[in-house]
Structure 1
Amino acid sequence: MTNIAFIGLGIMGLPMAKNLLKAGHDVVATNRSQGKVDQFVAEGGKGAGSVAEAVKDADVIITMVPDSPDVEAVVTGEGGVFAHAKQGAIWIDASTIRPDVAQRLAEQAAEAGIRAIDAPVSGGEAGAIEGTLSIMVGGDADVVEEARPVLEGVGTTIVHVGPAGSGQTVKAANQLIVAGTIQLVAESLVFLEAHGVDLEAAVQVLAGGLAGNRILDRKAASMIKGEFAPGFRIDLHHKDLGIVTSAAREAGVILPVGAIVAQLMNSARQRGYGSLDHSALLKLAQDISGKTN
């Protein structure tokens, strides 16, 4: 059993924290809205009213918040993780943030006597609930191995990909691939429907061939039904593609398809779809083809 502080009980964070409980860890959680903390306590966890309270006795601290400024707000400052965690604690940032910010915060953590690894996750809400997330980890190899038993409580594919910030770089590539795949699936569904093809039958055969992918497996059925309850919001994927395009520009890398998909994601957001699941790129594909249901 490990004493874990979990900060951020959103769509991904709450099921992750619950799975850590199921794995036998002692988990104290805090969140901006008290309702999620109360829900976690009802599941057998412990709640804290502040970051300082949550982390004071923790061996491992996990942050799962939306963006780079949110992570900085949680870990720095008088009430943050760096000021209140005990020396030698491991900080795992499971958020998706800019790689350069991850590197800088890892350096600040080291100055505070805290060992940092960046460990963003992929798999969406379903993967978080099932405990089958894919986790790309950046940081010192020894610290990663020490943290592995905790990571195994929430994921099944856990790979050390390099030094601090590397996990976030791999996650950026992940988000690029996912967004591009969703867009192509969305366009395919609009194309097929326009020709009167049975969409469920088409998805079945496509998923069994070279075009098969996790988006077809996990998202196509709800897309066909027009159900876009957020497992991962367009607003967040828009943020992630901003990370991709910025990091690519800094490295002098050209991402022509990625740039177009980033613009399409932004367009979906501007049309008011930001709070919907990222599979709502289908709605955009329908709109621009004049095929809105």
Structure 2
Amino acid sequence: MDTIAAARPTAGWIGTGRMGFAMARRLAGAGVDLAVWNRTAARAAPLTEHGATVVDSVAELRGRDVVFTMVSTEHVLDQVLLGDGGLLTEPGRAPGTVVDCSTVSPEASATLRAACAERGTAFLAAPVSGNAKVVEAGRLSLVASGPEATYRQVAPLLGLIGRSVTYAGEGEGARLVKVAHNLVLGILAQALAETAVLAEKGGVSRRAYLEFLNDSVLGSAFTRYKTPALVRLDYTPTFTPVLLRKDFDLGLTAGRDLGVPLPLASATAQLVQACVSSGREAEDFSVLLDLQAAASGLEIKPETGAVDDGLSDTDTGTGTGSDTGTSTGTSASADA
């Protein structure tokens, strides 16, 4: 914080879906001079209550020292940077650094990195692990790659957004780390669905099974904060099957390119596709549980009562600790 106060960089933010809103709110709440743009301005407007300024166009962010992007697809990222009126389209006027927190392919990232370099703008890839509630609880993890000098300049800002930041070296290493991470995410989600259905069909409640799992050596932050959804069958989206499918496509492509067989990821990708094909694409990817139950001939129902998500007793940082409903919109591709 002292470093930031001394340097006083101005920051911009593009994209205030569920993740982008929560991340931008932490920066604004920490006193960073933050200007925000979102395609639907109303979704960014509540950030003014935390000290941010909402601007009418991406062009108004060109004079910022650092501009963060958190959008849903490579196409959207390309448009906000290089499309009509994009951040990098006015000669001689561009931010000092662009930090992209979206999940995109290493190839797309490298293309944008080169476009930034042509304009004298540094580029840092900084994808994240966590959902909006994790951001609010101060437990987001980030992985960054790019020039080390750029990383060191931006690291204090990244440290305000999340609990941990890992530097993965030059180039696009952070993209590969995030893609690999999301393969594990999907495989774990399917494993939870399969074993919870197995336990329930054998007469054990999902709550009891997941409580034991969370307190065992296999428990993790992920298994804990997905437990309420699995117990209550609450599929309010934090990360959709469509976004997970996109990440599996990236991972399987990387596997082919690098000559790495990915049998578990390949099988899980088909189950994620089944979610999308069944019409459940707008729900949370925890809906894998429903598909597994149906395939097992088991009718499952919501279980009632309090369920610990593992986040309620953590430092909420500059967030509220709960979703106030102001961060609605399309989720950028982080994870849930």
TM-score tier after normalising by the smaller chain length: over 0.9
Amino acid at match of 2:143: M
Counterpart for residue 77 of structure 1: 83
User: What is aligned with 2:196?
Assistant: 189
> 1:260-279 counterparts in 2 under 5 A?
260-279=267-286
How many Å separate the matches in 2 of 1:132 and 1:221?
A: 18
Residue 200 of structure 1 corresponds to 207
**Equivalent in the alignment of 1:166:** 173
Structure-to-structure mapping, 1:34-73, within 5 angstroms: 34-53=41-60, 55-73=61-79
Q: Given that residues 231 and 277 in structure 1 are in contact (C-alpha distance below 8 angstroms), is that contact kept between their aligned partners in structure 2? A: yes
1:49 Cα deviation from its structure 2 partner: 1.2
For structure 1, the residue ranges without an aligned partner over 5 or more in a row are none
Contact 1:118/1:167, CA 8 A, preserved across alignment: yes
Give 5+ residue unaligned stretches, structure 2: 1-7, 301-336
Q: Provide the C-alpha distance between the structure 2 equivalents of 1:131 and 1:26, rounded to a whole number of angstroms.
A: 20
Helix, strand or coil at the partner of 2:64 = coil
Of 161-170 and 39-48, deviating more is: 39-48
Q: What is the CA-CA distance between 1:87 and the residue it aligns to?
A: 5.1
Please give the TM-score of this superposition, normalised by the length of structure 1: 0.95
Does residue 123 (structure 1) correspond to residue 100 (structure 2)? The answer is no
CA distance in 1, matches of 2:77, 2:299: 38
Query: Root-mean-square deviation (CA), in Å?
Result: 1.5
- One-letter amino acid of the counterpart of residue 177, structure 2: V
Match of 2:102? 95
Higher RCO (C-alpha under 8 Å, 6+ residues apart) = 2
Q: Give the AA of the match of 2:271.
A: L
Which is richer in helix?
1
Identity of aligned residues (%): 29
Q: Specify the alignment match of 1:20 in structure 2.
A: 27
Partner residue in 2 for 1:248:
255
Looking at structure 2, the residues matched to 51 and 234 of structure 1 have their Cα atoms a distance apart, in angstroms, of 29
- Match of 1:178, as an amino acid? L
Cα gap change, 1:36 to 1:88, in 2 (>3 Å)? closer
Match of 2:240 among 218, 233, 239: 233
8 A contact 2:63–2:95 mirrored in 1: no
Detail structure 1 runs of 4+ shifted over 3 Å in the superposition: 84-88
How many residue pairs were aligned?
Answer: 292
Q: 2:139 aligns with which of 132, 136, 147?
A: 132
List per-residue Cα deviations over 1:70-115 (Å, max 9, x = no partner): 1111111341121248456110000000011111111111011100
